[in-house]
Amino acid sequence: MAEEMRTSTRDLRALHDRVAAWLSGRTGGPVEVSELSRPSANGMSSETLFFTASWAGRPPVRCVARLAPAAEAVPVFPRYDLEAQFEVMRLARERAGVPAPRALWLEPDPGALGTPFFVMERADGDVPPDVMPYTFEGWLLDAPPERRRELQDASVGLLAALHDAPFTRDDLSVLSRPESAPSPGPHGRAGGRDGLRAHVDAQRAYYAWAHGDHPIPLLERAFDWLEAHWPDDPGPDVLTWGDARIGNVMYRDFRPVAVLDWEMAAVGPRELDLAWMIFLHRFFQDLTEAMGLPGLPDFMRRDDVCRTYRDLTGHPPANMDFHLTYAALRHGVIMARVWRRRIHFGEQAMPDDPDDLVLHRTTLERMIAD
């Protein structure tokens, strides 16, 4: 888990002058751009660049650019609708009060940097890392239990605020465009009750794109399990964050100050986000316990998260067995694709059993057996 996964094939020095030239065109004058850098701990899909830009008439601006990955980088997802991400971030910030980064510029034309991208303001804070996982070491593991609970409740509060925000169909129409799907964050209709079916159908399309040439039997059995256990009433659709986990949040003094990574945003039941937040901690916790370490067994427990969410929204989470299994399936599709990227770049060998591409194989097998 300590190895850094390769996420880009682009040269930062070659990008620097192109970023400066593009930004000069946007601001109407000369711009100084600092050396570009990349994050080291989190993120495995879109490419992220850090830089500071300075130009006449205003203080330096600390920026983050998100770029759609190059084809030769073996992308995790089939499409990167950066316009949808940009708009959803703006809506989450302005309508729901969720501290998504301030969206600055969107560039859909690939001519400037060789791919579409957008730029947002950079925030400061602490992020629970994926590598090494926060359950192994670090500031969250070392924190007193009451501070961890404060962080947990505040994180669930982000979902409550987003889900309760009064978005209209027109607000979320950017998520219904053909270029937004299929993806791991598929899209239903705001205010209706068909978002779950659209979500699962698009997830199947994503699985076929990512693994159609080399099927993974466990994931196909999990899709069958979903159909056999489909909820009678999936509940009304809301705007969901998609990649709703603490590793996509910056915290300051255990309070959220920036909510990151909106590429899996979707319209669907509230439980999509709740189950993802619960399961992603369980994934790291299971890895930690497998290494003989205690981790954080009292953190992000299902009953605690659901109770907090109900108290904040008045909505009692429903169909959670279904949604937790679906979260495990979704994570399995994504992580198996990430593993194939590692194989492509010579960082990992192909396992003899394709089910071993699912890092939480035992957990998912148990879930669909039960």
Q: What is the pLDDT, as a whole number, of residue 345?
A: 87
Q: What is the pLDDT, as a whole number, of residue 13?
A: 87
Same domain, 87 and 166: no
Closest of 132, 90, 121 to residue 265, by C-alpha: 90
Same domain, 95 and 144: no
- Section 268-276 average pLDDT: 98
Q: What is the pLDDT, as a whole number, of residue 189?
A: 40
Same domain, 111 and 34: yes
- Section 159-186 average pLDDT: 77
Same domain, 51 and 85: yes
| CATH number of 33's domain | 3.30.200.20
Report the C-alpha gap between 314 and 328 in whole angstroms.
Answer: 26
Same domain, 99 and 183: no
Q: Is 243 a catalytic residue?
A: yes
More confident residue, 10 or 350: 350
- Pick from 42-46, 68-72, 148-152, 340-344: least confident: 42-46
Residue 127 in any domain: the answer is no
Catalytic residue among 237, 243, 261, 273: 243
Most confident stretch, 82-96, 167-181, 341-355: 82-96
Please list the alpha-helical segments (H only) found in 191-317: 195-211, 217-228, 271-290, 302-313
Q: What is the pLDDT, as a whole number, of residue 361?
A: 96
Residue appearing with tokens 């068909």: 194
Whole domain around residue 100: which residue ranges?
Answer: 12-121
Report the C-alpha gap between 93 and 97 in whole angstroms.
Answer: 5
* 40 pLDDT above the threshold of 80: no
Report the C-alpha gap between 9 and 365 in whole angstroms.
Answer: 35
Report the C-alpha gap between 234 and 149 in whole angstroms.
Answer: 29
Closest of 94, 63, 121, 86 to residue 258, by C-alpha: 121
Same domain, 224 and 351: yes
Which helix or strand (DSSP H or E) is residue 106 part of? strand 103-107
Same domain, 91 and 207: no
Domain boundary at 121, 149, 169, which?
Answer: 121
Same domain, 199 and 231: yes
Q: What is the pLDDT, as a whole number, of residue 194?
A: 87
Average predicted confidence (pLDDT) for the chain:
91
Number of neighbouring beta carbons within 10 Å of residue 109: 10
CA torsion sign for 127, 133, 135, 139 is: negative
Residue 134 in any domain: the answer is no
- Section 333-352 average pLDDT: 91
Sorting pLDDT into bands at 50, 70 and 90, what band is 42?
very low
Same domain, 226 and 304: yes
How many structural domains are present in the chain? 2
Domain boundary at 57, 90, 121, which?
Answer: 121
| CATH number of 342's domain | 3.90.1200.10
Kindly state the percentage of the chain with pLDDT values over 70.
91
Taking CA 79 as the corner, what is the angle to CA 33 and CA 34, rounded to the nearest 5 degrees?
5
More confident residue, 153 or 168: 153
Predicted TM-score of the model (pTM): 0.90
Report the C-alpha gap between 361 and 350 in whole angstroms.
Answer: 15
Same domain, 84 and 159: no
214: which 2 tokens?
């080399």
Residue appearing with tokens 């701990």: 41
pLDDT, tens digit, 9 for 90 and up, residues 209-238 = 999 889 999 999 999 999 999 999 999 999
Sorting pLDDT into bands at 50, 70 and 90, what band is 192?
low
What's the longest Cα–Cα distance across the chain? Answer: 63
